[in-house]
Chains A and B, each alone.
Chain A
Amino acid sequence: MLFNSFSFAVFLPIVFILYWFVANKNLKYQNFLLLCASYYFYACWDWRFLFLLIFSTVLDYFTGIKMCETENPRKRKFWFWLSVSINVGFLGIFKYYNFFAASFADAASNLGMHVSPWTLKVILPVGISFYTFHGLSYVIDIYKKRIKAERNFIDYSFFVSFFPLLVAGPIERATHLLPQIKKERTFDYLKAVDGLRQILWGFFKKAVIADQCSEYANMIFANSSTYSGSTLILGAIFFTFQIYCDFSGYSDMALGIARLFGIELLRNFAFPYFSRDIAEFWRRWHISLSSWFRDYLYIPLGGSKGGTWMKVRNVLIIFLVSGFWHGANWTFIVWGLLNALFILPSVIFNTNRNNLEIVAKGKSLPSIKEFLQMVLTFALVVFAWIFFRANNLKHALSYIDRIFSRSTFSIPRLDVSKFELTSTILLIIVFLIIEWNGRENQYAIATLGRFKRKSYRMAFYFSLILTIYLFMGREQQFIYFQF
């Protein structure tokens, strides 16, 4: 059940009405209802994997309690590692087993040995990387005595499985979400309207920008050997907008949906393409994952406190793991490594926290320096996305090879209607203008509610709906569902 599907458009109002009208003023009922709705939502993908989700939930729930019940460090360690190893084990089997088996066979054949890899024909359970990380953060926090174990099974299951974040995040923390689950929730008109507004904006990003860009990006990446370098650059730029609008659009919808139920989720994106350096980009892109790695991997490894080599090692580890988290493919690992290389100079020279505020705060335009910094950062990000999008390393390298050829100086050519292509480019420009104007807010059109003239607000909303209808691309699955 996709957020942008008809079935979800039926599911959401039903849950919303039951939540506020039938279960209203009873926290237990509200949480139970949302848990049931979340399990139904997940079962719509593949009901068999619901058992895996429930097993993972039960495991973390009990190991959490066991860790809390004892002060014996050895027992705490046992329960902690039991939970971590089973969670990571499942992730390893479902997501990485075939990759390791095939890579081992490849490596062996390079050494002259013939090994037939024993691969599993497994389907990746949707959202496994996300809910595993939810559970891991909970168990780690208990082990580190940052939080106490949740004793109410319904509340804990709700924390792991809340449907807006279940399949593609944001990756929530127990310290942030569990207190909200335990607290009585009353309907807030302004919050609900804000939620709807964010859903609308997320839907626009997904249905119009991401799905339109995906058609061109797919076409160019699929036939990259036949296009000129300039067209390949265009393809990489289309993918850059596709992945941002696809994932941030999903996140906007998730945050908006949660807000309809009185719950605030962690922000996942903060206008990353307006970043002035790669470090800033990573503070603004997939924030819930970046901060997860920072808190549970980078800092425990020593963070940036040690010497230069330790910093370099930690940055390389965190980006390699981040790349690997995205998928069992060398392209993701190289993508992670490339980002590590981009960010290393600023980490070594301690300039990685130079740009903490949003660019040109309080101004309408950036300075020339800021503008050039943004363009350079954007170019590096686009370059790295080529590896992320390519089918394999060979494909990525041949794609880049064609970009660095004479054909890059030719006019990009695509065998599509000029009207369609121009309208997509215009839509991206309009989208960027709206994002730029709203860059100091939670999401681009958040301040629209402060417009005094209702007619302006309504005109904007209806224009957005009309644009969505007229320019929506073919419905595509969200990219991050595969992770």
Chain B
Amino acid sequence: MSRFLKRTVLFIIVAACLLASVIFVPNYIVSKKSKFNIQPGSKIVLFGHSHPECAFNDSLIANFKNLSHSAEPYFYTYQKVKKVLSQNPEIEIVLVEFSNNQIDEKMNDWTWGYKYMSSMFPLYSSFMDKSDIDLLIKHNPKDFMNCMSISTRKNLFRLVTRNYNFSDAMGGYLRIDKLRNNTSDAANGPADKATGNTTPAISTVNIDYLQKIISYCEAQHKRVFLVRSPQHKNYEFLKNEKDFVRIRTTRFSRIDFLDFNNFPLNDDDFADYAHLNYQGATKFSKWFNTMVGSGLLMNKNKQAFIDQSVSNYKAGSM
């Protein structure tokens, strides 16, 4: 009996060491050798989820790199920001998307729900702190093991292929050619601004990680701005506008907020209520490029400058 126990314990210890080495050695190598280089000359970078990913066509904006990624909550953006800023010292300005759905509790599912965690975690697991890992384990221990396994597999694959380049996976402008379809939008549900009888829950975790991103950027002596990309007036998450404004003015009042929500676009400039299509992105990006060129980011009263330009643009386009 004691022989069985001793041998079983020894077997478990050896197996645990083996597993630990398979997990941590590739993880360490990937974290050291990973490359997050962006094209030279990019002084402004943009992080966020699918809204900016579809809105900012960086080929039309000077010295600008769009690093947004669909369904990316701030938890994973934070990991990306750390690596991108540390490996690209020429970056001077960081724009971070801050829009209505990013305060919604749906962001929790984007952070630790299996569907999202299994695709995002393997990408950034090598760069996470213990507190980040603990957060995922705390909220979804069951799926965490599976995501760890996928992550180790991907790290081993990187080791074998000697491919430590993350540039292709970290996001970029996404071109959508389709026009908005009323049927599909109806399924998403337009904003219920009239009744306003729902009180959406807030994702404190996502907001905390936005704070972490800002703190990290400031520690790296980068200028940070919050940005809201254009959204359709019927976009369902506009119903939490009150909460959105409250959080922005209480938690992030020191940070300049560039609100492009009122940028004039037609229905056929949208792919759906939340995303611009290629036509809309082209209009918006060209305008944004002129704005940056006109000194938007240096201006003292940025929102007034934006509103004035929007009025001029409206007048010009009509």
Contacts and interface: CB of A to CB of B under 8 A. Distances in A.
A430 interface: no
B146 A472 contact: yes
A466 B14 CA distance: 12
Given A189-B3, A196-B8, A470 B153 contact: yes
B149 A471 contact: yes
Contacts of A192: 4
A283 to B, nearest CB: 35
Interface string B1-36: 101100010010011001100100000000000000
B146 A474 contact: yes
B139 to A, nearest CB: 15
Contact of B19 (A466, A473, A475): A466
B18 A466 contact: yes
A458 to B, nearest CB: 8
A17 to B, nearest CB: 8
Nearest to B118: A474
Interface residues of B, number: 22
A453 B6 CA distance: 20
Contacts of A472: 145-146, 149
B89 interface: no
A6 B141 contact: yes
Nearest to B16: A465
Contact of A470 (B4, B118, B149): B149
Contact of B157 (A187, A196, A419, A466): A419
Nearest to B152: A470
24 contacts: A6-B141, A20-B1, A189-B1, A189-B3, A192-B4, A196-B8, A419-B157, A462-B18, A465-B19, A466-B18, A466-B19, A466-B22, A469-B149, A469-B152, A470-B152, A472-B145, A472-B146, A472-B149, A474-B118, A474-B143, A474-B146, A475-B142, A475-B143, A475-B146
Interface of B: 1, 3-4, 8, 11, 14-15, 18-19, 22, 114, 118, 141-143, 145-146, 149, 152-153, 156-157
B12 to A, nearest CB: 10
A92 B157 CA distance: 52
B153 to A, nearest CB: 5
A82 interface: no
Interface in A454-483: 461-462, 465-466, 469-475
The CB with the most chain B CB atoms within 10 A, among A465, A466, A471, is that of A465
Contacts of A465: 15, 18-19
A118 B22 CA distance: 56
A193 interface: yes
Contacts of B141: 6
The CB with the most chain B CB atoms within 10 A, among A419, A461, A470, is that of A470
Contacts of B145: 472, 475
Interface residues of A, number: 19
A408 B3 CA distance: 57
A189 B146 CA distance: 33
Contacts of B152: 469-470
Contacts of A462: 14-15, 18
Given A20-B1, A470-B156, A474-B143, 13 more contacts: A461-B15, A462-B14, A465-B18, A469-B19, A469-B152, A470-B22, A471-B153, A472-B145, A473-B146, A474-B114, A475-B142, A475-B143, A475-B145
B279 to A, nearest CB: 27
A209 B15 CA distance: 21
Contacts of A419: 157
Contacts of A189: 1, 3-4
A192 B6 CA distance: 13
A196 B8 CA distance: 9
A419 B4 CA distance: 40
B146 A469 contact: no
Nearest to A13: B8
A382 B4 CA distance: 42
A473 B143 CA distance: 10
A475 B142 CA distance: 7
Nearest to B114: A474
Nearest to A21: B1
Contact of B22 (A6, A196, A469, A471): A469
B149 A193 contact: no
B240 to A, nearest CB: 32
Contacts of B146: 472-475
A196 B143 CA distance: 25
B46 to A, nearest CB: 28
A207 to B, nearest CB: 9
